Structure 1
Amino acid sequence: MENRVPDFPADIQATIDRVRDDVARLHGELVRYGLVVWTGGNVSGRVPGTELFVIKPSGVSYDDLTPENMIVCTLHGVVVSDAPGSDRSPSSDTAAHAYVYRHMPDVGGVVHTHSPYAVAWAARGEDIPCVTTGMADEFGGPIPVGPFAVIGDDSIGRGIVDTLRGHRSRAVLMQNHGPFTIGVSAKDAVKAAVMCEDAARTVHLARQAGPLVPIPQEKIDALYARYQSVYGQPADERRDADRPGAAGEEG
């Protein structure tokens, strides 16, 4: 059997352990905000200073997720570390996450959910228009739809990267599937997932009541610039950080 519990240098192992703790804990936030059902959805986090990331095992109940059963993979989706004595498979979306990390080096976290309002927009293949100041703050414009792609290879990852490259949004609605979000960290990507569902719900409800009122582009630009550079405390992880994926825009 392949060795799935390798000996990493102490400093690397400490970093892996920290990311495992974060990723395991953040799955609880998906449940807390009603973004997932059963065992669907996933959070992953890049291991800084390495060519590795951490993701949850496939088909394991959220109640049973612990730091110890988070799986470490290479940026090509190959499992390199699992719990001692275990032979779990990583999330079925591992190839998609790996592709994003390879092609968007500023991304430190990726999240996939099945949140109902965002999935409803994805089922229609429709962008969520930017008609609230909250959306302008968080996403700098509409939340776009990505192409239809099936699980099993890196097709979903390619769709995510192709759609978000050159786009301010940290969320993409993969057509007929659901939302994927990126961030400078796993926590930041989870926040984007929460805000994506909030936008999807709010805009859906507004449209049922009547026509949507657009925000002029220059106002969206100003709101986004202010929120990204001024809002929050100096220690905020997005403060003074470039938009995730910016370094990947050259290809």
Structure 2
Amino acid sequence: MTPPKQKATKQTKLKILHRRRTNIFGSAHFIKSFDDDFDSTKLAQVPIRIQRLDALWREFEETQEEIELLEDGEEDFAEERQEFQALYYELKTSLQSKIPVQPPVPPPAPVQPISSAIPISSSVRLPEIKLKEFSGNLDDWVSFRDLYVSLIHTSIQLTAVQKMHYLRATLSGEAARIISSLEISANNYLVAWKLLKERFENPNLLVKRHVSALLMISSMKKESAQGLADLADEFDRHVQLLDKLEDYENHWNAFLVER
């Protein structure tokens, strides 16, 4: 028999996870509203919306797996998975179809080595991976870190020297200055990444920053569907980041959970 305290903790976790899953569905439906109301003036937003949709897919899978582990077969989850998968595939296909097809670009000439001290062959080009630049703004750290780790840091196709090149290329401002004294080398890559994490990986401070950002979200000056979608996206961005920063026992959003 499950002790009362353990059962209460399990119910609290499930309540938070169900709330998170509802937020994920809500964010996906806001993207659907964008897709339904799309016109050519919003074309530049399409790649960003696709990136956000892919992030929601990963968050849904993680959240759904946690729910299923806690509820241990108490419910049939096929319906939730099918509903979100259907929504994801429909939106991904529709959004991608809006991006104009670009004509093939002839391959550029081989790049010469920058320096003999950098062990990269002139015949090898780094694959193009687009990352949002990180300047040292704490509000952007979690999203930058997660995307960089998934695309670059954990990649088994890239060498440490190549990862160091990507890291340098994606940093600016204060963040770039932190590793500016390090030469581009395999040995310095992990040193550079450790320096960045020591400077910006401050969960308590990040939680305070995102909670403050939530409380300071500006109200709409003029009612509109786009304005409402942008407001909800901004709120949901901070909610999702805070979910990643806090554990269940001391969950930051207790004031958002219905008692």
Question: Under a length normalisation based on structure 1, what TM-score does the superposition of the two structures give?
Answer: 0.29
Q: Which of the two has higher C-alpha Rg?
A: 2
Q: Which structure shows the higher helix fraction? A: 2
